[in-house]
Amino acid sequence: MLLRYSFRMYPNGPQRSALARAFGCARVVYNDALSAREAARAAGAPFPKTGELSKLLITEAKRTEERAWLGEVSAVVLQQSLRDLDTAYRNFFDGIHGKRPRIGAPRFKSRKENRQAIRFTANARWRITAGGDLSLPKIGKVRVKWSRALPSTPSSVTVVKDAAGRHFASFVVETGPVRELPATVNQVGIDLGLCHFAVLSDGTKIDSPRFLRRAEKKLKGAQQSLCRKKKGSRNRNKARLKFALAHARVADARREFHHQLSTKLIRENQAIAVESLAVRGLARTRLAKSVHDAGWSAFVAMLEYKAARCGRTFIRIGRFEPTSQKCSQCGTKDGPKALHIRIWTCRACGAVLDRDVNAAINVKKAAGLAVTACGAQVRPEPLVPAPRGETGTHRDGRPTVAGSAPLNGGRGSQYIETSLY
């Protein structure tokens, strides 16, 4: 599995200037290559190859007065900028042909974009020094705060500058063998919501932190301060960084909450079932801000890749499963209910049901976890006829063979959905 590790960097003044220069040079090469390909498309000519663009826009451009400053940064950074353009075109054409979700055509980059990034490969001869600094070509040794050790040696490093002006070193590494956790008999279904972020099938309710709602007052003040500043002034840039930092802190707190909760659920349960949610559709309703504040998709993605890494079972059920309409006691479908109805009584069996807990139990049952033991079959397999000597019944209903072996040895194949990061 590929995992991404990101660490905070603290460059000094000259190093920040060198990084800004590298960001600008990579952006210029990207825009020049995009302009060359769009000109070829308009003229009806074939797209120029990456090798041709590299020779024209990097090697020969360095010898001209207009682009002589391209030689002040590592050539690997400029080469990787061309690779990024190839990837953008490939994703665009794959979307047209139905190989992936459709995205827009590559666009020109602006120096005012919130996020900027450059990539150094092994050819750039970057390294991690004995003192823990990150040595980058033509930039120097940058101080990095390492929160953990990398599981393997990375082949490249991406330096990212976010909207708040913070710098990060991002590594994509391949992990070793699966780090399996001790087996447990616990299985859980999860119902995600807004009043409570998650409700478990055992009745546990996890409150929604609502990080964005709690920070709205501070964000409002930062936004008003930004709007009062004159465009293009230094004070406006300071206010913009303050506003971006406030938003970044909200996102960081939400991500930390997702990581802690997902890790806790993975450690305590052998199998986890969740319901697929139409987040894009819910984000077009009056609950859009609360839906985005919850961050369900990011949380479910964390559950998925952590389950694959730790040897747990992760199951998604379809979003059209009537988990909120069905009684978890008798299975009777009682019809749709308004959102304000949190507790209801089943008309068939008379059970008083909590809406969210009932939905979590139905999620667990729909995934096949409520009736199977730990590690048992969670996906239906073709039935195999049992031998006549193993099972059978008399007319009075008594079994022919007591204690007969379960079908297929009581074991079935587990299906784990993995996620590459």
Q: Quickly tell me which residue has 């031998």 as its tokens.
A: 387
Backbone angles phi, psi at 347, to 5 degrees: -75, -25
Contacts of residue 395, defined as CB under 8 A and 6 or more positions apart, other chains included, come to none
For residue 103, the one-letter residue type is: I
Q: Enter the pTM of the model.
A: 0.79
Q: Answer for the pair 345, 372: CB distance below 8 angstroms, yes or no.
A: no
Query: In this structure, what token pair is assigned to residue 98?
Result: 């139905």
Contacts of residue 316, defined as CB under 8 A and 6 or more positions apart, other chains included, come to 273, 274, 275, 276, 300, 417
Nearest to 120 by CA among 84, 156, 81: 156
Instruction: Lowest mean pLDDT of 16-25, 128-137, 327-336, name the range.
Output: 327-336
Question: Model confidence over 267-284: pLDDT tens digits?
Answer: 999 999 998 888 888 888
Tell me which H or E stretch contains 410.
none
Select the more confidently predicted residue: 389 or 206. 206
The length of the chain in residues reads 421
Select the more confidently predicted residue: 46 or 386. 46
Pairwise CA distance, residues 9 & 161, whole Å: 10
Pairwise CA distance, residues 261 & 60, whole Å: 53
Q: Please list the active-site residues.
A: 191, 275, 356
Backbone angles phi, psi at 89, to 5 degrees: -65, -40
Q: What is the pLDDT of residue 2?
A: 85
| pLDDT higher than 90, residue 181 | no
DSSP-assigned states of every residue in 247-303: HHHHHHHHHHHHHHHHHHHHHH-SEEEEE---HHHHTTSTTHHHHHHHTHHHHHHHH
- Mean per-residue pLDDT for 385-413? 37
The DSSP output letter for 409 is: G
Question: Model confidence over 240-250: pLDDT tens digits?
Answer: 999 999 999 99
Angle, helices 216-228/234-268, rounded to nearest 10 degrees: 160
Q: By three-state DSSP, how is residue 363 classified?
A: helix
Nearest to 186 by CA among 168, 201, 205, 208: 201
Q: Answer for the pair 294, 197: CB distance below 8 angstroms, yes or no.
A: yes
Select the more confidently predicted residue: 32 or 403. 32
| pLDDT higher than 80, residue 373 | no
What's the start-to-end Cα distance of the chain, in Å? 7
Which range of 138-147, 177-186, 192-201, 392-401 scores highest in mean pLDDT? It is 138-147
